[in-house]
Homo-oligomer: A and B are copies of this chain.
Amino acid sequence: MLIDMPLQELEQYRPALTAQEDFDAFWQQTLAVSNAQPLDASFELLPTEEYAYVADRVNIYNVHFNGFGEGTRVAGWYLVPKADYRREKDGKIPTIVQYHGYSGGRGLPSAYLHWALQGYAILAVDTRGQDGDTPDNHQYVEGGFVGFMTKGLLQPEHYYYRHVYMDCVRAIDVVRSRPETGPIFITGGSQGGGLTLAVAALAQDKGIVAAMPDVPFLCHFRRSIEIYSAGPYQELVDFWKRRPHTVEESYRTLSYFDGLNFAPRISCPVLLSVALMDTICPPSSGFAVYNHLGGEKSLRVYPFNGHEGGSNIQEQEKYRFVHKLLQG
């Protein structure tokens, strides 16, 4: 059944942006602080007996680097094919940076073999505090509802995703620090899609050649909250149930982190996927982003899928998209 606007309306849906006047200043200043902070990246080769089944083809590193601000070391997996198994572009390896969905973590390195064995390097990074190996040690000034969505919600400087977005930008610096790294593709689904959009806007000077967000979360908050019926937007709602007077103040904070406002600031090619039955990240939020993208862009619409999106089909679309861009 229809859960949002009909497709014809979605295709035309281009709502007003919600960025505050100091949106760009806010991020320039945040980036300046982040850039000034040492990365201190470490790459530890995993014991090969742990992945003996594929150690002849791929090297797997346990990566750590300083997250934004004090106290948080971010963990990631870096998989890089051995010489005979590499795909190369101008003598460098095209590299994927992947962000994960809400409440997840980097998981097992074997989950990324499908990219590595095709010849790409890949860095998969944790989201701080979430169910990986990375804590969130920012010093907050108040509590929040169960989950991450409302941590520091009342002030943009303290909002949880300010730190997450910077961690994700810093992950680009991490791969950029490797001599073998060639063109960088960024991707992720759901929260990972929202992070992909933010990084595409905030780190476009760092060699990102394309962004591939799927069913992105953290986009067009006001509309999403009117339409969603499952998933973590509920945390905001639960927070507001107890603090009804903070709604507008919260939306002001969220505007700094809204994929809608990042969209017109993205210049690299984007391959976006949207699912029309997505009750977690409603399709109108994805179309709103898409219709504001200014650069080269492609859309994949899954008319009867929910938040699982295109799954294997979209995965293959991304293989083709990356391969084609590298050919061009």
Q: Which residues of chain B have C-beta atoms less than 8 A from A242's C-beta?
A: 105, 107, 131
Given A54-B118, A244-B304, A323-B53, is A135 in contact with B131 using a C-beta cutoff of 8 Å? Answer: no
A110:B319 contact, CB within 8 angstroms: yes
Which of A12-20, A33-41, A141-149, A168-176 lies at the binding interface? A141-149
Which of A202-210, A233-241, A285-293 lies at the binding interface? A233-241
A143:B137 contact, CB within 8 angstroms: no
A319:B54 contact, CB within 8 angstroms: yes
Interface: A10 (CB within 8 A): no
Closest Cβ of chain B to A230, distance in Å, is 10
Interface: A129 (CB within 8 A): yes
B229:A1 contact, CB within 8 angstroms: yes
Interface: A57 (CB within 8 A): yes
A134:B143 contact, CB within 8 angstroms: yes
Contact of A239 among B52, B131, B225, B301 (CB under 8 A): B131
Q: How large is the interface on A (under 10, 10 to 19, 20 to 34, 35 or more residues)?
A: 35 or more
Closest Cβ of chain B to A95, distance in Å, is 16
Q: Which residues of chain B have C-beta atoms less than 8 A from A310's C-beta?
A: 244
Q: Which residues of chain B have C-beta atoms less than 8 A from A127's C-beta?
A: 143
Closest Cβ of chain B to A279, distance in Å, is 9
Tell me the bound Cα distance from A313 to B229 in angstroms: 26
Interface: A294 (CB within 8 A): no
Q: Which residues of chain B have C-beta atoms less than 8 A from A247's C-beta?
A: 303-304
Tell me the bound Cα distance from A23 to B308 in angstroms: 37
Interface: A61 (CB within 8 A): no
Contact of A237 among B105, B141, B229, B304 (CB under 8 A): B304
Interface: A25 (CB within 8 A): no
Tell me the bound Cα distance from A84 to B238 in angstroms: 40
Contact with B along A307-328 (1 / 0, CB 8 A): 0101011011001101100000
Q: Which residues of chain B have C-beta atoms less than 8 A from A143's C-beta?
A: 105, 126-136
* Chain B residue, CB-CB nearest to A310: B244
Interface: A26 (CB within 8 A): no
B139:A137 contact, CB within 8 angstroms: yes
Closest Cβ of chain B to A256, distance in Å, is 20
Contact surface of A with B, Cβ cutoff 8 Å: 1-2, 6, 52-54, 57, 71, 84-85, 103, 105, 107-108, 110-111, 113-114, 117-119, 126-137, 139-148, 150, 225-229, 232, 237-242, 244, 247, 277, 301-305, 308, 310, 312-313, 315-316, 319-320, 322-323
